Amino acid sequence: MGIEEYGGGQGPHPEVLVVTTNDVPGHEVRQVIGEVFGLTVRSRHLGSQIGAGLKSMIGGELKGLTKTLVETRNQAMERLVEQARARGANAVLAFRFDVTEAADVGTEVCAYGTAVVIAPLA
């Protein structure tokens, strides 16, 4: 698995900018729209679970589960961006992920932040 399969995030010119900070340098917040989130729950693949169980006995990275979690986080972020865009935002501030176990059958990933309209400082 190459390094590109472990990452996520946005390309160089996103329609909706997503940042973990509370502001964007060189920009002002013109309107706060409110909280937005993207949620997804993924069940575990039986093969990954068996491989993870075996790997946990000898140690090392669980690459199948890592890849699944990256894909899941990216999907949650895409849903967050869709919601922000639908509500008229061009940025999401204070972006975060929350990851929890979902009833021992999968992983719940929630991407959340504050949808805003930003504009360059004059």
Output the tens digit of pLDDT for each of the chain's 122 residues: 565 666 777 777 889 999 999 999 999 999 999 999 999 988 865 555 555 555 556 667 777 777 888 888 999 999 999 999 999 999 999 999 998 887 777 788 999 999 999 999 98
Backbone angles phi, psi at 86, to 5 degrees: -65, -30
How big is the CA angle at 101 (ends 96 and 103), to the nearest 5 degrees?
140
With 0-12 CB in 10 A as exposed, 13-18 as middle and 19+ as buried, what is 26? exposed
Q: Does this model's pTM top 0.75?
A: yes
Query: For residue 67, how many other CB atoms are within 10 A of its CB?
Result: 14
Instruction: Using the structure block, give the residue that is written with the tokens 């979902």.
Output: 102
- Axis-axis angle for helices 46-58, 63-86 (nearest 10): 130
